[in-house]
Every structure is written in structure tokens, then in C-alpha cells.
């Protein structure tokens, strides 16, 4: 079970919590359905009451402190960062059941174990605006000024230092009236003025924020025991030393660096290294358990060069110099909660130690290791195979240092002749014929930077830099021996007595463009162990899932077998540094939270085991569709198209929608080659027919072509060119007209028509804490990056926000392109200098706040901001930039408007898996064998001091629970279609290395039509 991990700025207490569900009727919504009616579906924000004397005393002390610092009293209340913590929970996610219509973007594949994510958050508070009664605020929403008579006194701030508070306030200062000059009774030396802040630049303060201590543990829910794939690591008291390593000439390959240092240790361990067994990280650091006999020393290491046919010996000079000592005492203090600063350097030393042996023996991909020795390999097709392996990471937890181990699989190039790879990759049967230009470019992209070994020259490896334009039979070069022109075919015949067979194929280029070296494809074999980082096609993804998908009990067994195979406690590096790894999964106390009650039109239902039934129920708010039509690009018969439309309309009506039985235009069929033309004709005809009424076509039902690859093109044309809201359907499902499928399509149509399928009963009764007590807007934000190798493609940022209150079920989405691989969202807030209007404020936050006010009639009293896709290393940076942008957007709308903000980062790509203690116990597992939805863990494997938890927010689908797919995630993927043109429905992103320049100007995305933006078009 992969847990949804959250890091919050509020306390997780014993209030009702909600989570995400799916229905046997496959009632599914986008990923932000996990917060469909507020944080009751993902997190709970609780508050501790403070007595009047306590907070008054703290407020007075804070004001005095500010006056001593020379700040005086501001005329407005300033925003202040406050408590930040983490929360974890098990599971979460989205999936597509059998018979369900294809989503705008299907979920990424995931192995078994519960899906979910992990996140962090922080909160900042300010004065409520004066237009409405101020909401009750948690204690960390503090203010820094004297409250006016119309406002209640602010609650006291929590534990962030005042220094950090002052720096954060400086990032986004609210405009102070001219009359409100700060005063001070204490004289302080004059300080130089801060430089003007460019909104496009980072905040003036980049000081790291310190998360507060965990305020407590949750108590709500039925208690149970789960097992986690965390293995306790005992650490002996050793004298850990850190040494800097410098290799000359410089080497960029970590593998070669390891070969150099390994050769050094083999040559000098006894004579110069004091018989130490150093651990090396493959870059610049070397660690020892005890000092080396020197402070600084140079060594000479010789390696045989295998990249050329000469097999010459290369000489490297390695300088080792003492850098620092790692403090194990600091680590122990931190693990026991007596030290707040994370001893990251010490943890890094121990992590390198545990990774030393596998790094030397296996293929390394990030924090994972792969090898044919670690499991069966298999074919994925097109010259690609999969290797099995494992993920490994050392983490600080409440129980101590924990080694997180998880099963993994990755695509690799098959070690075959390049000519065989080309035949498979391009589906070519006859290699005696020349490649088309399209196939040649395809091969060039697939093989660039791939290493090959020459079968006619033993143990010589070269890296492919390109593919020749001409076939091998036409290639010539200047012979170094005679200085005359000779052909490649003749050279290999005379030099190696090899008659080339496939001379019509292009040759591989392994030299530079100025001095190319050509090698025949049939004489080059792909070196094993090279990761395939390109996008997998649909067939390959399906094959990988079939080969690697495991039920939870099988996955747990595989993890145990991997730990035994690694035999950590007999590893020379582990023993050298005094580590001991436990071999049992960790038993963890967990709780299963009660499910929230759902409200339909005239009935209520409490989900059981994360599921509920839509049968005989009507939508709580049915949308209205008056003008619609249908077009089929498939081969199904016209009478089947009419039958599908008739049944779908009836289903929408039976579920509570006001759906016109008669289409505006008669349903039609068209050829897939005429998609753009057909859509344009429908647009023109519907506009002509509705011209007198001034209305637009509300819905276009599209039956997709039988072949894949057109979905993205259809959505791009409909949403950015024509302004048509569309619902795509699979041709096989449309021809069957099964009731379950029709129900799912009806639910999606209702959302796009502005309706609600269901809401939480507590939302209607305004019983969701800190969501329904005062107007609250919930944001969701995500950034998706292009596929590896697509260095010219921008990253896509998406932000969605709730447009209704207190239900918080309708989300408006905005998207924006930004520099390649840039994780920080650039367009949250921005300003433009206009010659006539002066400074023009804009940005996604501002636009969505205005839309919320227009939709609900209220300005938000509170902002809850969910952020997906941020790693721990990026958290502080993203928080500083994006919190600053949120504040500036608020102040740009109204002077002194600084509503409290809760910033929650959800991390779903961690590798924690939670398994039932008893796999056969039906009371503790769902039908897929996963732990029950609603399971939450906030002890043992969580952070020693910070506030985090794992949450399983939905039931598993078939044998696995996939990560949560939020509305922002769906919107970002939809925008990818706008720039990619024709693409497959099941493409998904993955990490990769980028070579694109960061300062390259990004071309804006096509604008989404206003009538499309007004609804949840991305669902």
C-alpha cells in the first residue's frame, strides 16, 4: 500500500476526516475529488482553544518586541508564516474500471500495494477582510498589528522565529497608508533600504523555514496494525570522516569514477589507507570509519581505456583531502527529538555506505538498482526489455534510522545487434532495403548516446552520436595509412575479412561531426544495462504492467526476499561502519477513519470499504444540456450511433439531469482523416442555428476512432480553437451500450454541464472545520514536465480552484507554459508595465480569486493551497516563491486583503508501502488485498519531529492502488495535448535529464476559450 503523504501547517486532531471513494457503478471524478468538498476529504484542520489571557499576553509581548526592533505598529495586519508540519496517510488515487470511459488523461501505471502520496504544508495568517464577519482561525494564524474595533483580536502565533517572520513579511509587504508611519521608542542604527523587488525574481529572503514539532497524534478511528517496508538500521558509535576527492583529468561518468577509486583502494589500501575500507559516492566525497593516515595526499591510478580500439592506458591523478567529521551524536539527538536541525551530512554518509556494494554491482538509476540477477527479465517489444530491481533510501523516522526498500522495474535496451534492434524498432522485415527518412530519424533519436561494443574487436565500446544520412554502401573516408579515399565496405572486407550484409542501412556515427567515424550496424552490439529513458508506447506499458503487477502479499514476499538477497549484515562496507540492518518489516500502529456521509438528490449513503453504489440514485444537482449533438469517427454503424445517443440521453435524464432529448444537429459519422474539417463544420452549423438566440452548442459527444492517436488533437481543436465542450467515448463501449458505462459517462457529462454528482452531507450542514464556517477557496496546483529527450518542450503548470462554497465541488482550471523542467510555478502572480495603464496585475491566483468572488458572491476568508509534485529538496524554495505570489495576488485585489493561507504539499511518489498484518483477514483488507481505505499512519515510520502522516484515501482497483490524480494534474496533462498535437491517450510523464537552456523563451499555450474554462472541461 503506497501511502498519500501530506505535510500540513495545521494540527491533525480528532475531528471527522474524509477520503476518496469509488463506486461499484464506477462513479469516478478527477483527482481533486479527494478534496471534493473540502479538506474533510484529505486532511483535517483542527484548532486548540486559547484562553483570553494567554493570547492577550502573547499579543502584547509580540507588539513590544516589534517596537523594540524598530518596526512600530503597522496600519494593516501583515501576513505571517506559521506552523508547518507533515502528515502521512495510506493510499489514494484514481483509476479506470472496466467499462469506464477514457479520461482526458489516464493514470500512470503503478505496481501493487496501496497507491497514494506524501506531502507537506505550511500556513500563514493575516487579518480577515472587512467585508464579512471574520472566520475563526487556528492559533497559528497570527497578526502583527493592533486589531480594529470591528475585528476580533488575533490569535497567537506558533513557533516560527520572529526573524523568519520578519523576512517573510518583507517578501510581500502589504501597502501601508501614508498616514500609518511606523513608530519606535527604541533608537536603532539606520539600516540600508532593501532593493526593489522584481516580481519575476525570487523573494528577498531565502532563509529556510523550520517546521514545528509535531503537536500530537490522531485518535479518531478504529485501531489496527499494518506492516511497512521500512527496516530499522542500528548504528554503532564510529568515528566517521569525510574526505574530498578530486580526479584529474575530470571525469563526468560516475561509473568511471568508481572504477578509478576502486582501483586506488585495491592498490593502496594496505600501504597508504591504513587498511580502511572507504565508501565512495561516485562524485567528490569519500567516507571512512576512522581517520586515514594522512590529511591530504595524491595518488596515481592507471586504467585501460576501453572506448577506443587502441586499448591505451590512461593515467589519473586522485587527490584525497580531509574535509570534516560526521557527528553521530547530533544524529542521535535528532532522532530522539532533542535536536531540530536535520544532520543531513551524517545521514548522507550512512546512505552512501549502504549503497556502496550495489552501486558497484548493479545498474544504478537514481536511488534504484537493477540487474538480471535481481529477478526475471522480459521483452517489452521494439528492442526494449525490463529488468527488475529495488529502490533503497535511508530515512530518519520516529523509530530511528529506517531503510526503505521497495520492488521496482525499469525498461532497458536489449543487448542485441543494432541491425536487429532497427528491424524490431521500425518493424522492418527486409534489411536489404534502405531506411526511409522517417525511420532513419526515429532510429537516430532512439540510439543517440547509447553505448555499443564492436563484435569484430574484443571489449571495445563506443557511444553513438548519430546515424549517417547515406547508406553504408556509399560511405567513404580518408585512410590514415595510405591517405587515399576508401569505402567503409572495402575497409572492413580488407582489414577484418568481413563481408557486410546490410549495406543499404545507414552506419552508426561514433565520432564528432567534423571527424566522423562510421561503424556498420551489423557489427555493433548494444551494451547491456543501459536504461531506456524514452516514452513507452501503449503496448510496452501494458506488457510492463502484466509482468510486474503483484498482489500485496506477493509484493511483501518479494521485498523480504530482496532484503535477504542483499545480505546487508555481511557486507564489508556495512560492517566497516558498524551498521546493522534488521530483516523484518516494521509493524506500525494505524487507524481506519470513519467514512463521511454522501448526499444525493433525495438519498444519503455512507460508503463501505471505500465504495458506494450509484444505482437508483440521482445526482444532487443535475446540470442542464439543451443544445447538443454527436459525431462518430469510428467504424460502428450509424444505427448504433443513434442507439448510443438515445440510451445516453435517457441515462442522463434518469440520473437527474435536465437533458434535451432532441439533438441540435443530427448525429453523424465522419472519417478519422477529416477530424478538423468535421469539427469545424459542426461548429459553424450549430452557431448558424443558434445565432438568433445568442447561445452556443453546450455539448459535443464524440465517438473516438478505432485507432489511437487522435484524442489530443480533438481536445486541442475543441477547447482552444472552437470553444466546444466535448465528451469522448470509446467505440467498443459505445457499441455495447452497457448500463454501467452509460452511468459513468453521465456522471462526467453532468460535471461538464455545471452540475454536482454528490456532496458531503457535512458540507451542506456547514460542519467541515475551517472550510464551511467561512468562505474558503481550495486551490490545487501541479507542474508536469515533458518526456525525456523532449528538450524543446516546455513544462506545463496548472492551477485549479473551487468555485462554489460551502460544497467546494466545482473547480475552474488554468494552465500555463513555463521553462523546461522548472518546478516553481511562474505565473501564479505577475505584473506588466503598460504605457497607458501603468502597472497591470495578473496571474492565475488573481484570476481564480476574482472568479470565486463572481461565482459565490464572497471573497475568500481563507485559502487552502494543495501543491503536487514537490520533492523534499525543493519544498522550501517552492514555498517561498509561491506563498509570496499568493500574498501579492491577494494584496493586488484589495489593499490589506491578506486572508490566512494553508499550504499543503502532497507527495505521492515515495516508496513506502503498507501491508495488512493478516492478508487473509477480510476485516482488515479490501477485495484487492490492500489495507482498508481511510487507513492513516502518523507514528513509527513518520518524521521524528515534523508533522506528517500517510493516508489511504480510496479503495484499491483490481490488484493495485494507483496514485491520486488531482484536477490540477488532469488540467496540466490536457494542456500538454495543446502543444503536442497528435498523441496517444495513455501517455504519461516520467523523470529525465534535460539539456535545454533554462533561459530559452517559452511559447505561450493556445488560449482556452472562456466558455470552456467556465466548466470542468478536463474531467
Higher pLDDT, 21 or 421: 421
CA separation for the pair 608, 955 (Å, rounded): 10
* φ, ψ at 27 (rounded to 5°): -75, 110
Which of 35-49, 634-648, 969-983 bottoms out in mean pLDDT, i.e. has the lowest? 35-49
* φ, ψ at 795 (rounded to 5°): -80, 155
CA angle 715/717/723 to nearest 5° reads: 90
Q: How far is CA 397 from the centre of its chain?
A: 23
Q: How far is CA 224 from the centre of its chain?
A: 30
pLDDT score of 181: 36
Q: Which domains does the chain have, with CATH numbers?
A: 232-413+541-584 (no CATH), 418-527 (2.170.260.10), 623-752 (3.40.50.2300), 763-900+986-1013 (3.30.420.10)
Output the CA–CA distances (angstroms, integers) from residue 278 to 257, 259, 380, 799, in the order listed. 14, 14, 39, 48
Strand partners, 287: 242, 279
Given a cut of 60, whether residue 879 has pLDDT beyond it is: yes
Cell 585501460 identifies what position?
A: 304
Nearest by Cα to 320 from 273, 255, 355:
273
Residue 100 Ramachandran class (φ > 0 left, ψ -120 to 50 alpha, else beta):
beta
Q: Mean pLDDT over residues 461-474, rounded?
A: 94
CA angle 300/302/306 to nearest 5° reads: 150
- SS3 of 88, please? coil
pLDDT score of 307: 59
CA separation for the pair 530, 362 (Å, rounded): 11
Output the CA–CA distances (angstroms, integers) from residue 883 to 121, 169, 803, 830, 877, in the order listed. 11, 11, 21, 13, 10
Q: What tens digit of pLDDT does each residue of 906-918 get?
A: 888 889 999 999 9
Q: Mean pLDDT over residues 30-42, rounded?
A: 32
Report the DSSP pairing between strands 948-951 and 4-7. Answer: antiparallel
In sequence order, the 6+-apart residues with CB closer than 8 A to the CB of 136 are 47, 770, 773, 774
Q: Mean pLDDT over residues 599-610, rounded?
A: 89
Q: Above pLDDT 90, what percent of the chain?
A: 63
Contact 625, 660 (CB under 8 A): yes
Q: What tens digit of pLDDT does each residue of 364-377 get?
A: 999 999 999 999 99
Given a cut of 50, whether residue 946 has pLDDT beyond it is: yes
Mean pLDDT of the chain: 80
CA separation for the pair 699, 694 (Å, rounded): 16
DSSP-derived letter for residue 472 is G
Q: What tens digit of pLDDT does each residue of 291-324 get?
A: 999 999 999 999 987 655 556 789 999 999 999 9
Q: Mean pLDDT over residues 784-799, rounded?
A: 85
DSSP-derived letter for residue 36 is B
Confidence bin at 877 (pLDDT 50/70/90):
confident
Q: Mean pLDDT over residues 95-121, rounded?
A: 40
Confidence bin at 479 (pLDDT 50/70/90):
confident
Higher pLDDT, 678 or 47: 678
Given a cut of 50, whether residue 805 has pLDDT beyond it is: yes
Given a cut of 60, whether residue 557 has pLDDT beyond it is: yes
Given a cut of 70, whether residue 206 has pLDDT beyond it is: no
Q: What tens digit of pLDDT does each residue of 836-855 get?
A: 999 999 999 999 999 999 99
Given a cut of 80, whether residue 987 has pLDDT beyond it is: no
Q: Mean pLDDT over residues 327-336, rounded?
A: 94
pLDDT score of 38: 32
pLDDT score of 6: 62
Nearest by Cα to 626 from 522, 753, 781:
753
Contact 601, 617 (CB under 8 A): yes
pLDDT score of 18: 32
Q: Mean pLDDT over residues 97-108, rounded?
A: 39
pLDDT score of 855: 96
**Three-state helix/strand/coil letters over 831-895:** EEEECCCEEEEECHHHHHHHHHHHHHCCCCCEEEEEEECCCHHHHHHHHHHHHHHHHHHHHHHCC
Strand partners, 246: 319
Which of 441-450, 566-575, 703-712, 773-782 bottoms out in mean pLDDT, i.e. has the lowest? 703-712
Contact 31, 804 (CB under 8 A): no
Confidence bin at 401 (pLDDT 50/70/90):
very high
Nearest by Cα to 985 from 704, 720, 753:
704
Contact 701, 663 (CB under 8 A): no
Output the CA–CA distances (angstroms, integers) from residue 517 to 308, 358, 421, 467, 837, in the order listed. 11, 35, 20, 10, 61
* φ, ψ at 593 (rounded to 5°): -75, 150
Q: Mean pLDDT over residues 987-994, rounded?
A: 36
Strand partners, 461: 453
Given a cut of 80, whether residue 788 has pLDDT beyond it is: no
Backbone Cα Rg of the chain? 31
Q: Mean pLDDT over residues 745-773, rounded?
A: 94
pLDDT score of 923: 82
The side-by-side arrangement of strands in the sheet containing 285-289 is: 279-280, 285-289, 240-248, 313-325, 296-304
- The count of C-alpha atoms lying within 13 angstroms of the C-alpha of 281, restricted to the half-sphere facing its C-beta, is 20
Q: Mean pLDDT over residues 503-519, rounded?
A: 90
Given a cut of 50, whether residue 9 has pLDDT beyond it is: no
Contact 634, 703 (CB under 8 A): yes
Q: What tens digit of pLDDT does each residue of 631-673 get?
A: 999 999 999 999 999 999 999 999 999 999 999 999 999 999 9
What are the DSSP calls for 635-680, one per residue? SS-HHHHHHHHHHHHHHHHHTT-EE-SS-SS--EE--GGGHHHHHH
Given a cut of 90, whether residue 73 has pLDDT beyond it is: no
Cα dihedral sign, 741-742-747-752: positive
pLDDT score of 101: 41
Amino acid at each position: 500500500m503506497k501511502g498519500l503523504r501530506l505535510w500540513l501547517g495545521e494540527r491533525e486532531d480528532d475531528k471527522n476526516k474524509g477520503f476518496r471513494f469509488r463506486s461499484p457503478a464506477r462513479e469516478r471524478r478527477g483527482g481533486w475529488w479527494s478534496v471534493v468538498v473540502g479538506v474533510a476529504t484529505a486532511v483535517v484542520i483542527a484548532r486548540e482553544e486559547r484562553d483570553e489571557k494567554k493570547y492577550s499576553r502573547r499579543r502584547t509581548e509580540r507588539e513590544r518586541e516589534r517596537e523594540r526592533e524598530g518596526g512600530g505598529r503597522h496600519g494593516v495586519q501583515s501576513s505571517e508564516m506559521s506552523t508547518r508540519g507533515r502528515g502521512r496517510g495510506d493510499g489514494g488515487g484514481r483509476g479506470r474500471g472496466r467499462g469506464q470511459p477514457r479520461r482526458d488523461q489516464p493514470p500512470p501505471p503503478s505496481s501493487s500495494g496501496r497507491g497514494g502520496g506524501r506531502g507537506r504544508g505550511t500556513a500563514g495568517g493575516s487579518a480577515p477582510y472587512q467585508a464579512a464577519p471574520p472566520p475563526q482561525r487556528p492559533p497559528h494564524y497570527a497578526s502583527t498589528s493592533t486589531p480594529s474595533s470591528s475585528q476580533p483580536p488575533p490569535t497567537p502565533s506558533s513557533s516560527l522565529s520572529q526573524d523568519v517572520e520578519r523576512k517573510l513579511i518583507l517578501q510581500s509587504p502589504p501597502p501601508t497608508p501614508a498616514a500609518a508611519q511606523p513608530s519606535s521608542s527604541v533608537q536603532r542604527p539606520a539600516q540600508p533600504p532593501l532593493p526593489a523587488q522584481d516580481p519575476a525574481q525570487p523573494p528577498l529572503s531565502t532563509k529556510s523555514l523550520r517546521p514545528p514539532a509535531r503537536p500530537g497524534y490522531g485518535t479518531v478511528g478504529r485501531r489496527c496494525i499494518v506492516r511497512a517496508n521500512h527496516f530499522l538500521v542500528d548504528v554503532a558509535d564510529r568515528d566517521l570522516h569525510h574526505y574530498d576527492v578530486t580526479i584529474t583529468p575530470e571525469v563526468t561518468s560516475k561509473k568511471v569514477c568508481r572504477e578509478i577509486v576502486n582501483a586506488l583502494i585495491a592498490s593502496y589500501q594496505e600501504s597508504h589507507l591504513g587498511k580502511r575500507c572507504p565508501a565512495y559516492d561516485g562524485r567528490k566525497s569519500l567516507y571512512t570509519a576512522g581517520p586515514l593516515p594522512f590529511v591530504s595526499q595524491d595518488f596515481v591510478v592507471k586504467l585501460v581505456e576501453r572506448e577506443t580500439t587502441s586499448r591505451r592506458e590512461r593515467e589519473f591523478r586522485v587527490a584525497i583531502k580531509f574535509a570534516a567529521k560526521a557527528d553521530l551524536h547530533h544524529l542521535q539527538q535528532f532522532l530522539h527529538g532533542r535536536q531540530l536541525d536535520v544532520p543531513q551530512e551524517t545521514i548522507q554518509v550512512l546512505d552512501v555506505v549502504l549503497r556502496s556494494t550495489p552501486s558497484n554491482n548493479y545498474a544504478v538509476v537514481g536511488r534504484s538498482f537493477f540487474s538480471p540477477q535481481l529477478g526475471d527479465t522480459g521483452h517489452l517489444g521494439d528492442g526494449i526489455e525490463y529488468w527488475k530491481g529495488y529502490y533503497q533510501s535511508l530515512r530518519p523516522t520516529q523509530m530511528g534510522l529506517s531503510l526503505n526498500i521497495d520492488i521496482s522495474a525499469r525498461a532497458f535496451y536489449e543487448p542485441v545487434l543494432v541491425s536487429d534492434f532497427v528491424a524490431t524498432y521500425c518493424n522492418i522485415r527486409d534489411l536489404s532495403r534502405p531506411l526511409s527518412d522517417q525511420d532513419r530519424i526515429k532510429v537516430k533519436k532512439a540510439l543517440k548516446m547509447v553505448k555499443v561494443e564492436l563484435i569484430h574487436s574484443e571489449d571495445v565500446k563506443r557511444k553513438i552520436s548519430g546515424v549517417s544520412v547515406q547508406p553504408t554502401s556509399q560511405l567513404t573516408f580518408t585512410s590514415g595509412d595510405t591517405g587515399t579515399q576508401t569505402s567503409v565496405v572495402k575497409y572492413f572486407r580488407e582489414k577484418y575479412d568481413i563481408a557486410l550484409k546490410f549495406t543499404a542501412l545507414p552506419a552508426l556515427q561514433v565520432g564528432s561531426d567534423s571527424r566522423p567515424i562510421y561503424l556498420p550496424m551489423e557489427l555493433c552490439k548494444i551494451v547491456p544495462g543501459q536504461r531506456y529513458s524514452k516514452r513507452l508506447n501503449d503496448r510496452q506499458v501494458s506488457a510492463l504492467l502484466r509482468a510486474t503487477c503483484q498482489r500485496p502479499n506477493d509484493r511483501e514476499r518479494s521485498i523480504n526476499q530482496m532484503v535477504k538477497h542483499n545480505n546487508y549484515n555481511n557486507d564489508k562496507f556495512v560492517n566497516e561502519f558498524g551498521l546493522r540492518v534488521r530483516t523484518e518489516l516494521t509493524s506500525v500502529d494505524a487507524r481506519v477513519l470513519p467514512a463521511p456521509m454522501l448526499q444525493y438528490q433525495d438519498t444519503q449513503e455512507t460508503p463501505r470499504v471505500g465504495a458506494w453504489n450509484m444505482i437508483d440514485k440521482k445526482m444532487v444537482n443535475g446540470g442542464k444540456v439543451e443544445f447538443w449533438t454527436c459525431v462518430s469517427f469510428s467504424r460502428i454503424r450509424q444505427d448504433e450511433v443513434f442507439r448510443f445517443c438515445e440510451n445516453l440521453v435517457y441515462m442522463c435524464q434518469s440520473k437527474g439531469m435536465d437533458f434535451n432529448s432532441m439533438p441540435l444537429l443530427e448525429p453523424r459519422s465522419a472519417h478519422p482523416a477529416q477530424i478538423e474539417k468535421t469539427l469545424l463544420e459542426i461548429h459553424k452549423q450549430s452557431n448558424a442555428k443558434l445565432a438568433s438566440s445568442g447561445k452556443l452548442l453546450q455539448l459535443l459527444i464524440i465517438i473516438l476512432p478505432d485507432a489511437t492517436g487522435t484524442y489530443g488533437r480533438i481536445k486541442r481543436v475543441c477547447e482552444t480553437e472552437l470553444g466546444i465542450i466535448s465528451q469522448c467515448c470509446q467505440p467498443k463501449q459505445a457499441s455495447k451500450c452497457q448500463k454501467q458505462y452509460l452511468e459513468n459517462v453521465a456522471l462526467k457529462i453532468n460535471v461538464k454541464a455545471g452540475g454536482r454528482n454528490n456532496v458531503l452531507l457535512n458540507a451542506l450542514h456547514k460542519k467541515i472545520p475551517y472550510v464551511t464556517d467561512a468562505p474558503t477557496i481550495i486551490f490545487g496546483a501541479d507542474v508536469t514536465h515533458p518526456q525525456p529527450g523532449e528538450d524543446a518542450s516546455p513544462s506545463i503548470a496548472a492551477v485549479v480552484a473551487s468555485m462554489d462554497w460551502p460544497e467546494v465541488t466545482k473547480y475552474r482550471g488554468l494552465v500555463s507554459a513555463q521553462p523546461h523542467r522548472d518546478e516553481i510555478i511562474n505565473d501564479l502572480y505577475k505584473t506588466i508595465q503598460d504605457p497607458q495603464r501603468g502597472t497591470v496585475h495578473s496571474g492565475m491566483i488573481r484570476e481564480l480569486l476574482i472568479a470565486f468572488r463572481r461565482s459565490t458572491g464572497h471573497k475568500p476568508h481563507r485559502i487552502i493551497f494543495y501543491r503536487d509534485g514537490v520533492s523534499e529538496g525543493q519544498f522550501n524554495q517552492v514555498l517561498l516563491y509561491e506563498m509570496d505570489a499568493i500574498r501579492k495576488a491577494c494584496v493586488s485585489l484589495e489593499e490589506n486583503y491578506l486572508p490566512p493561507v494553508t499550504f499543503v504539499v502532497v507527495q505521492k511518489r515515495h516508496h513506502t508501502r503498507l501491508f495488512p498484518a493478516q492478508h487473509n483477514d477480510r476485516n482488515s483488507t479490501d477485495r484487492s488485498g490492500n489495507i482498508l481505505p481511510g487507513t492513516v499512519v502518523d507514528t513509527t515510520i513518520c518524521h521524528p519531529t515534523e508533522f506528517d502522516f500517510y493516508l489511504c484515501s480510496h479503495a484499491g482497483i483490481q490488484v493495485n492502488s494507483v496514485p491520486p490524480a488531482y484536477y490540477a494534474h488532469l488540467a496540466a496533462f490536457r494542456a500538454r495535448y495543446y502543444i503536442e498535437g497528435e498523441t496517444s491517450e495513455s501517455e504519461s510523464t516520467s523523470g529525465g535529464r534535460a539539456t535545454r537552456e533554462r533561459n530559452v523563451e517559452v511559447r505561450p499555450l493556445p488560449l482556452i476559450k472562456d466558455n470552456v474554462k467556465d466548466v470542468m472541461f478536463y474531467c
